[in-house]
């Protein structure tokens, strides 16, 4: 099925050029030049992925993402100002799946979009006869993860994660007590040789912890081992 990409940017030249590039690659596109109308459309008729510019008048991309995350977990890529680390950190902390700094290569953007869309597809192992089987649920102590439904619970309480957050947590939880380096977590969440720096993984981990502490203020199952990486404890 053809994926639909929503583009939100107040620069109509970017909207036009990126939309044409995506359509050439076989995507359907929807374009919005300001945040308020985009927010309603993204909630009422969710696309497969949204690309949001941060610097927009009236409702900027950060506010748009904050309000969107109250209703939806669709994958989001942020377009940030070049070298604006604050924008990048805020975007990731608020639940963006990835970011690209302007000026950007359309080829890079399309590669990131394809990588995220592949991650959103449910992994369904094929059984004899070619029939798909549901992906196995993962239970580690008080944590339960159901990849087929993209569902996470802690002590039975739902925890809503983005695709990137889910993949990072799943990688940690698959082998409790085993340290995973940032590179290993990046490989799990960002495939196809797409480079992200350490700060990206750290920001996602902080957000995952924050979400779990909303249902359990004493949550401490994700441990930081400085200079080594992270590990999950199911004790």
CATH number, domain with residue 146: 1.10.10.10
Which residues make beta-bridge pairs with 107? none
User: How far, in Å, are 18, 36, 153 from residue 13 at the CA level?
Assistant: 8, 20, 43
116 and 35: one domain?
yes
170 and 207: one domain?
yes
26 and 103: one domain?
yes
User: Where does a domain end: 74, 93, 122?
Assistant: 122
CATH number at residue 9: 3.40.50.2300
* Number of residues that this document lists for the chain: 235
| 0.75 surpassed by pTM | no
CB 199 within 8 A of CB 185: no
- 168 assigned to some structural domain: yes
The whole-number average pLDDT for the span 93-104 is 80
**Domain, as residue range, for 227:** 138-232
pLDDT band at 84 (very low <50, low <70, confident <90, very high): low
**Which region among 71-75, 86-90, 173-177 has the lowest average model confidence (pLDDT)?**
86-90
86 and 13: one domain?
yes
Residue with tokens 């449910």: 122
Question: Residues with Cβ < 8 Å from 164, sequence gap 6 or more?
Answer: 75, 97, 98, 116, 119, 189, 190, 204
Q: What is the pLDDT of residue 86?
A: 57
15 and 53: one domain?
yes
CA-based R_g, the chain, Å: 18
Q: What is the pLDDT of residue 48?
A: 94
182 and 114: one domain?
no
The whole-number average pLDDT for the span 8-32 is 93
pLDDT band at 6 (very low <50, low <70, confident <90, very high): very high
152 and 228: one domain?
yes
Proportion of the chain above pLDDT 70, given as a percent: 84
- 129 assigned to some structural domain: no
- 31 assigned to some structural domain: yes
Within 10 angstroms of residue 78's Cβ, the number of other Cβ atoms is 24
- 44 assigned to some structural domain: yes
pLDDT digits (tens, 9 = 90+) for 155-213: 999 998 887 888 899 999 999 999 999 888 887 776 555 555 567 788 889 989 999 99
188 and 103: one domain?
no
22 and 77: one domain?
yes
């Amino acid at each position: 099925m053809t994926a639909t990409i929503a583009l939100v940017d107040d620069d109509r030249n970017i909207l036009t050029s990126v939309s044409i590039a995506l359509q050439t690659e076989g995507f359907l596109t929807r374009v919005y030049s300001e945040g308020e109308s985009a927010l309603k459309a993204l909630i009422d008729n969710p696309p497969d992925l949204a690309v949001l510019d941060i610097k927009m008048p009236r409702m900027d991309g950060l506010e748009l993402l904050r309000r969107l995350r109250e209703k939806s977990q669709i994958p989001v890529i942020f377009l940030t100002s070049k070298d604006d680390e604050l924008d990048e950190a805020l975007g990731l902390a608020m639940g963006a799946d990835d970011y690209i700094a302007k000026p950007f290569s359309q080829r890079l953007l399309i590669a990131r979009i394809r990588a995220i869309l592949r991650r959103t597809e449910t992994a369904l192992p094929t059984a004899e006869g070619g029939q798909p089987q549901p992906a196995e649920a993962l239970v580690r102590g008080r944590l339960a993860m159901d990849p087929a439904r993209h569902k996470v619970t802690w002590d039975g309480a739902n925890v809503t994660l983005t695709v990137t957050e889910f993949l990072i947590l799943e990688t940690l939880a698959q082998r409790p007590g085993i340290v995973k380096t940032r590179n290993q977590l990046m490989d799990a969440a960002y495939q196809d040789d797409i480079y992200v720096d350490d700060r990206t993984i750290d920001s996602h981990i902080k957000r995952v912890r924050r979400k779990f502490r909303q249902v359990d203020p004493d949550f401490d199952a994700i441990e930081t081992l400085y200079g080594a990486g992270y590990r999950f404890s199911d004790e």
